[in-house]
Every structure is written in structure tokens, then in C-alpha cells.
């Protein structure tokens, strides 16, 4: 974009700015650039994430145009040339936008390659590829719902929905189990009726899932049907799209050979699994992405935006998972959240990974709102030699990590809170969010619960003492990452979260020394 074109576009926006406030809607900006053929609506949405918005979602158009011009005429011309390439337009549509966004970052990223990779991952086009190998071979299908899956004290909102709840804080952050197709449809309609016109729905599952005759089902090992498959560590969301497409085909093909029915296992209250024949047809069965495409077409539902953030069961998110959440939520977190937008996180049961997603989303939202510790909050952390409350996460290693946060240098002097209390404030924020998202699991108390279970477990059983100790360590690892994410959010909010979490963490390698040696003392 040349300077002359920039001035011309600003003039177009001024004509549409009837109030003279210098503000227009995101939709209008998208329409203008789509008409010009320079930026797609998705490109505009990505670039607008770093620009301050008003409570009703309007944007200062001069700031927006200036941010595109951050690299000057030469970069704008280069981006225009890139966007004219069919390969770039179809396979790397976010490349030009990412270059423009990176050029306008102030201060610039520490490592452009890392930042560019995060932008490209976030803007990866939805392209469900073919997966060459059978996903079902050697496995069996099991229904996601099992006896007593609903953990909440409140009743189910629908027979095919479970563990749907809202955080206790004043923000539209929700959690849910996977739910069957009609259950999700009911929730989408309910949220629309409650005033939410748009719902960002995050599926946090690492294992492939399909809807067979509307029922959410996943592949399991026949030797261990009550545990999720656990060999897909670091799988990418586009890979899961391809796997689910192939899994759906595998199921339809198997059913076609058996009078359009296939065996699906259902878990009973005893923990045993019973096989039943389930009707499976191409018309009534979907991959998860296919199901959301179907849901979007139904009457009376909120506008649904589906995203996959694959996390292994009972573990902390990996760095790219945190980066993805930051990239997708920072535009909302750094503006006054429109009252008609809600966030929903789900996993199979709606317990561990759902709670993790809720906590991460709420940490970003609260930091974006300028959260500060409440009156009467603790003014210091206990020393490792003092009495410590383990149910409040006061493990020795956690206190060491928090102390190290205080000693670590701030990110190029951009810290939004004093170095001496960074660790304490990060813990206060994380604990506050965890307590208000604890309907299905308290992420801190779960560590102690596993230790207690280890003391009661019998050696030689399916879940011996070491099983529970390993899970306790995994939960401690997850809690440590929530504290790091809270420290990141408090420090980087003034920068609009333009610095991604992984880049921030790589400035503080000493934190990983503590993370590597976490203990339950």
C-alpha cells in the first residue's frame, strides 16, 4: 500500500465517520479492503487484533491504516506482490498480514522467526486434507458419555449435554463436556437467547473425535478402554482435522459392511464397558469440524467460530498451545469485551482440559481489564521454611519459581507491575481464576487429591500408587504453567500481548530449571 493509497483509504473512512469520532466498525473496514481486493476479511481481523477497540467493537481507522503502513511503502508493495501469488493466497494467506503486523510491533519481537511462525500457525487456512492410513484399525469406538459423567450439582441443561457452566467471575467464559450433537445445538441456541451473538468455541481434545448418529465417540485401545489414546503428543489441529475425516470414513465403511451398524462401547457405572450396535450413516455422522459446519446452518444459533487447541489429557498445555490462545484471544482481551461475545472451552468430560482452557482464557481477560490484587490480599509469600498451605499451592518448588520471577529481569523494561512482587501477583491472579473456575476441578487441590489417592491405592491394581503420584506431578506441572502464564499476562498486557508466550518464556530460561525439577514437597 502506497502513502497515496493510505491517504485515500483514510478519506473513505472519514466520509463514513458520521460522528467525527475517528471510529468505524470492523465489518466496515473488512468491506472496504475486500472491495479494494487488498486484504481479506480474515486478514483485517488478524491485523485489527493489535489495535485498540471501543466497548462496542469499533476501531480507530487512522491507527489501523497506520499499522498497515508500519513498514513503509516498500514493505507494503512487497506484501501486495506476495498476495498476488496464487500459492501464497491459498496456502499461506497470513504471510503478508504477518509481515505487516510484525513491522508495526513496538518494540519489535526478539526473534522474528518465532513470531512469524506463530502468526502463520494462527492464520493457517482451514483445509482438511486426506489422511492416508486407517485411524480405526486396531482400535474400538467408545461413546464419550459414560455413567455419572455429569459432575455439577446443577441439573443437565439438556439430556445430551453435560458439565456446562460459567465461571463465577463477571465475564462470559464457559466450560463444557464434549456433549452430543443435539446437546451442542441446544447450548448454541440457549446462548443466542441469552444475548450472545457470537461464540468462540475451543475444543481442547488431543484425541480424534467423531459424531456417529449424533453421538460423540472416540477411538480407544481395547486393552484400556477407560483411558484416552495417549500417543498423539504435539499433534497439530490440522492433523486432527485430517484424522477425524479419515476416522469418520473408517466408521462409515465398517458400518456399511454390517447393515449400516457398528459396535460402539458404552461405559457402565461399574466401569465395565458394554458393546451396542449403533446406526452409522454418512448423512447423520460428522467429524468435529463437520459438526460445527452443520451447527452454523441451524436456525436460532449464535454465530459459532470453532477452534481446536489439542492438549494431552491431565497435562499442561505446550508452549504452542498457549501461543495459539494468545493469538486468538488478545484482540478481545485488549478491548472492552463486547457483551454479545462468549468463550466456550470443552474436552471429553468437561473437567481437566476444559478447566485449563477456562483458566487460561480468564487470565488473559482479567489482565486485559487491568486486574489488581484485592484489598486484604497477602503482601508476601511464605518462606520454604515456614508453615505452608499445600492446598493453596505453597509447594517449595512453586515458592522457588515465584521467587525467581521477582529476581528475573523484566521484558525490556516493559513490566506492568513491580519486579519485587511479580511472583506474588502472578499467584494471586492465577489462584483467583482457578478458584472461580473450580466447578468440576480445582487445579490446585487436585494435586493434593491425587497424593491422597496414592496413599489409598493398592499395588498391582489398574491404578496403583505410582499412577496417582505421576498424575499429581503432572497437575503440579500444569499449575506451575498457569503461574507462568499469569506472570506473562500481567507483564505483556501493556504491549497488547503482541509478544507471544513462548517468546516471553524464552527470555527466562531459568524458569525451566525449576519446572524440570518440580517436587511434591
- 83-115, pLDDT tens digit by residue? 778 888 778 877 887 887 787 777 788 888 888
**Dihedrals φ, ψ of 327, to 5°?**
-60, -40
CA distances from 45 to 57, 59, 122, 154, 357 (A): 12, 11, 12, 38, 22
**Dihedrals φ, ψ of 213, to 5°?**
50, 40
Instruction: In whole angstroms, give the CA distance from residue 261 to residue 201.
Output: 31
pLDDT value at residue 417: 45
Burial bucket for residue 293 (CB in 10 Å: 0-12, 13-18, 19+): middle
pLDDT value at residue 414: 46
Name the CA radius of gyration of the chain, rounded.
Answer: 24
CA proximity to 434, closest of 482, 492, 375, 382: 482
pLDDT value at residue 39: 73
Instruction: In whole angstroms, give the CA distance from residue 216 to residue 348.
Output: 9
Look up the pTM and report it.
Answer: 0.87
pLDDT value at residue 407: 83
CA proximity to 521, closest of 420, 410, 419, 385: 385
SS (H, E, C) 243-288: HHHHHHHHHHHHHHCCCCEEEEEEECCCCCEEEEEEECCCCCCEEH
* CB atoms near residue 362 (< 10 Å): 25
DSSP state of 177: -
| Contact residues for 398 (Cβ-Cβ < 8 A; gap 6+) | 427, 476, 479, 480, 483
pLDDT value at residue 80: 72
* Domain regions of the chain by residue span: 3-122, 140-326, 370-516
Tens of pLDDT, residue by residue over 253-289, are 999 998 899 999 999 999 999 999 999 999 999 999 9
Task: Map grid coordinates 480407544 to a residue.
Answer: 220
- Fold adopted by 3-122: Recoverin; domain 1 (1.10.238)
Task: Tell me the three cell numbers of residue 458.
Answer: 493398592
Tens of pLDDT, residue by residue over 370-405, are 999 999 998 889 888 889 999 999 999 999 999 999
Instruction: In whole angstroms, give the CA distance from residue 221 to residue 434.
Output: 33
Instruction: In whole angstroms, give the CA distance from residue 518 to residue 521.
Output: 9
**Dihedrals φ, ψ of 343, to 5°?**
-115, 135
Task: Map grid coordinates 491404578 to a residue.
Answer: 463
Instruction: In whole angstroms, give the CA distance from residue 330 to residue 105.
Output: 14
pLDDT value at residue 70: 55
CA proximity to 485, closest of 519, 517, 508, 469: 508
CATH 3.40.50.2300 fits 140-326, yes or no: no
Instruction: In whole angstroms, give the CA distance from residue 433 to residue 99.
Output: 35
The β-bridge partners of 265 are 142, 275
**Dihedrals φ, ψ of 308, to 5°?**
-115, 125
Residues in the chain with pLDDT values less than 70: 1-3, 38, 42, 46, 49-57, 68-74, 76, 335-338, 409-420
Q: Which helix (H) or strand (E) holds 451?
A: helix 445-456
pLDDT value at residue 415: 43
Question: Do the domains at 3-122 and 140-326 have one common CATH topology?
Answer: no
Q: Which helix (H) or strand (E) holds 306?
A: strand 303-311
**Dihedrals φ, ψ of 199, to 5°?**
-130, 125
Instruction: In whole angstroms, give the CA distance from residue 118 to residue 126.
Output: 16
CB 361 within 8 Å of CB 329 = yes
Burial 301-323 (b: 16+ CB within 10 A, else e): bbebebbbbbbbbbbbbbbbbbb
Instruction: In whole angstroms, give the CA distance from residue 162 to residue 151.
Output: 8
Task: Tell me the three cell numbers of residue 36.
Answer: 479494494
CB 251 within 8 Å of CB 136 = yes
Instruction: In whole angstroms, give the CA distance from residue 464 to residue 482.
Output: 28
DSSP string, 476-519: HHHHHHHHHHHHHHHHHGGGTT-S-HHHHHHT-HHHHHHHHT--
Task: Map grid coordinates 479492503 to a residue.
Answer: 33
Task: Tell me the three cell numbers of residue 12.
Answer: 473513505
DSSP state of 159: T
pLDDT value at residue 7: 80
Amino acid at each position: 500500500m502506497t502513502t497515496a493509497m493510505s491517504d485515500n483509504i483514510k478519506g473513505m473512512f472519514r466520509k463514513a465517520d458520521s460522528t467525527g469520532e475517528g471510529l468505524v466498525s470492523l465489518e466496515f473496514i473488512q468491506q472496504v479492503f475486500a472491495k479494494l481486493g487488498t486484504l481479506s476479511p480474515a486478514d483485517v481481523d488478524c491485523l485489527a487484533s493489535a489495535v485498540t477497540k471501543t466497548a462496542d467493537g469499533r476501531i480507530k481507522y487512522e491507527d489501523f491504516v497506520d499499522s498497515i503502513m508500519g513498514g513503509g511503502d516498500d514493505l507494503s508493495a512487497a506484501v501486495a506482490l506476495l498476495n498476488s501469488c496464487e500459492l501464497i493466497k491459498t496456502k499461506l494467506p497470513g504471510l503478508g498480514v504477518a509481515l505487516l503486523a510484525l513491522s508495526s510491533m513496538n518494540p519489535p519481537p526478539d526473534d522474528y522467526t518465532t513470531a512469524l511462525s506463530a502468526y502463520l500457525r494462527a492464520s493457517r487456512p482451514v483445509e482438511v486434507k486426506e489422511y492416508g492410513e486407517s485411524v480405526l484399525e486396531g482400535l474400538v469406538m467408545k461413546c464419550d458419555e459414560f455413567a455419572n459423567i455429569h459432575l455439577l450439582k446443577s441439573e443437565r441443561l439438556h439430556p445430551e449435554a453435560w458439565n456446562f457452566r460459567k465461571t463465577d467471575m463477571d465475564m462470559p467464559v464457559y466450560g463444557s463436556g464434549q456433549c452430543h450433537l443435539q446437546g451442542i445445538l441446544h447450548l448454541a441456541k440457549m446462548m443466542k437467547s441469552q444475548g450472545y451473538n457470537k461464540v468462540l468455541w475451543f475444543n481442547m481434545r488431543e484425541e480424534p473425535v467423531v459424531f456417529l448418529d449424533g453421538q460423540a465417540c472416540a477411538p480407544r485401545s481395547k486393552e484400556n478402554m477407560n483411558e484416552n489414546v495417549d500417543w498423539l503428543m504435539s499433534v497439530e489441529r490440522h492433523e486432527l482435522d485430517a484424522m477425524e475425516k479419515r476416522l469418520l470414513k473408517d466408521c462409515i465403511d465398517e458400518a456399511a459392511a454390517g447393515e449400516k451398524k457398528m459396535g460402539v462401547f458404552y461405559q457402565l457405572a461399574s466401569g465395565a464397558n458394554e458393546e451396542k450396535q449403533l446406526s452409522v450413516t454418512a448423512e447423520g455422522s460428522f467429524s468435529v469440524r463437520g459438526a460445527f459446519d452443520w451447527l452454523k446452518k441451524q436456525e436460532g444459533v449464535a454465530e459459532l467460530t470453532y477452534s481446536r487447541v489439542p492438549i494431552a489429557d491431565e497435562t499442561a498445555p505446550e508452549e504452542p498451545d498457549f501461543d495459539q490462545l494468545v493469538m486468538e484471544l488478545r484482540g478481545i482481551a485488549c478491548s472492552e469485551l463486547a457483551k454479545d461475545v462468549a468463550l466456550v472451552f470443552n474436552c471429553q468430560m468437561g473437567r481437566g482440559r476444559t478447566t485449563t482452557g477456562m483458566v487460561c482464557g480468564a487470565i488473559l481477560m482479567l489482565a486485559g481489564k487491568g486486574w489488581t490484587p484485592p484489598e486484604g490480599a497477602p503482601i508476601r509469600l511464605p518462606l520454604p521454611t515456614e508453615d505452608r498451605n499445600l492446598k493453596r499451592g505453597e509447594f517449595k518448588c512453586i515458592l522457588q519459581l515465584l521467587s525467581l520471577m521477582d529476581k528475573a529481569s523484566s521484558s525490556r523494561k516493559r513490566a506492568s507491575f513491580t519486579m519485587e512482587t511479580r511472583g506474588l501477583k502472578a499467584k494471586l491472579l492465577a489462584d483467583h481464576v482457578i478458584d472461580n473456575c473450580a466447578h468440576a476441578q480445582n487445579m490446585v487441590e487436585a494435586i493434593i487429591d491425587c497424593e491422597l489417592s496414592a496413599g489409598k491405592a493398592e499395588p498391582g491394581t489398574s491404578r496403583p500408587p505410582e499412577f496417582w503420584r505421576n498424575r499429581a506431578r503432572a497437575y503440579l506441572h500444569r499449575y506451575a504453567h498457569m503461574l507462568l502464564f499469569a506472570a506473562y499476562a500481567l507483564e505483556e498486557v501493556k504491549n497488547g500481548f503482541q509478544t507471544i508466550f513462548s517468546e516471553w518464556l524464552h527470555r527466562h530460561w531459568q524458569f525451566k530449571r525449576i519446572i524440570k525439577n518440580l517436587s511434591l514437597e
